[in-house]
Amino acid sequence: MTVLSNVAKWFADPAHWRGSDGIPQRLVEHVQISAESVAIGALIALPIGIALGHYGRFGNLAINISNVGRALPSFGLLVIAFQVFGLGNLPVLVALVALAIPPMVTNSYVGLREVDPDIKEAARGMGYRELAQLVRVELPLAVPLVMAGIRTSAVQVVATATLAALIAGGGFGRYIIDGFAQQDYTKLVAGAVLVAALAMATELSLSGVERLLVPRGIRLLQARVAQRATTFKTA
């Protein structure tokens, strides 16, 4: 198909690997804004989700916040952020952090709730105080679900960061938006391929991180690991 061969030629062209509109530059922009958003989102969401899960409070809110997160229209959020903060990375960051928080809250809450109460009681019986129990017993057991939440957020943020180009942002979304505006379909497809590849790479690498973090004993116990965490799509 000519479309595919044109796209292959586009990738083979060295001019597309240099300069401020080159693939490396756009990759750095995209990864940077995505990573920052997920990191800040995690800083906010994980403590909340873990605390709620540990104390067993506000369960309904914690679970349904995921649904609220899915309901947020990313296009609308980005434009509102632009009108509040102006141009630059800040509006994109704010919008993406808002989208990154819900899955992490829900998954960490559920992860903490799922810890077998017998284990918690045993820990208490062994003399663990509250914080130690949380950190050394509950959290390691909850890691798979917490990581699934982070993974879901990360993949979704990577995909949604493409819309940042609508408010003059960078990243791979530029190829898609500029390609559409210029009716340069080769560029557009190349951009889509790059985003999809980055999203899949994000998921794979975070699965790898999860494999490293989950204590071996827990992995052996698990009947079924968390499935591919792509049920969030906001862009």
Report, in Å, the least distance between residue 215 CB and another protein: 13
CA end-to-end distance (rounded Å), the chain: 27
Instruction: Indicate which single residue of 56, 67, 121, 122 sits in contact with another protein (rule: CB under 8 A).
Output: 67
What residues have CB less than 8 Å from 116, skipping those under 6 apart?
A: 141
Where in 113-132 is the site for another protein (CB under 8 A)? Answer: 114, 116
Q: Does 72 bind another protein (CB under 8 A)?
A: yes
Please pick, from the candidates 35, 120, 200, 207, the single residue that binds another protein as defined by CB under 8 A: 200
**Shortest spacing between CB 176 and another protein, in angstroms:** 5
On the 0-12 / 13-18 / 19+ scale of CB atoms within 10 A, 79 is middle
17 binds another protein (CB under 8 A): no
Q: Using the rule CB under 8 A, is 104 a contact of another protein?
A: no
Q: How far is the CB of 94 from another protein (least distance, A)?
A: 14
* Residues whose CB is less than 8 angstroms from the CB of residue 29 and which lie 6 or more positions away in sequence, other chains included: 169, 170, 171
Give the tokens for residue 134: 């949380």
CB 26 to another protein: min, Å: 12
Task: Scan residues 146-185 and list those touching another protein (CB under 8 A).
Answer: 148, 155, 159, 162-163, 165-168, 173-174, 176-185
Element (H, E) at 48: helix 23-55
Query: To which H or E segment does residue 93 belong?
Result: helix 89-113
**Any residues with CB less than 8 A from the CB of 143 and at least 6 apart, and which?**
111, 210, 213, 214, 215, 218
**CA quadruple 49, 53, 57, 61: dihedral positive or negative?**
positive
Q: Which of 25, 63, 89, 120 binds another protein (CB under 8 A)?
A: 63
Contact positions toward another protein, by CB under 8 A?
20, 63, 66-68, 70-77, 79-80, 82-83, 86-88, 106-107, 110, 114, 116, 144-145, 148, 155, 159, 162-163, 165-168, 173-174, 176-185, 188-189, 191-192, 195-196, 199-200, 221-224, 226-228, 230-235
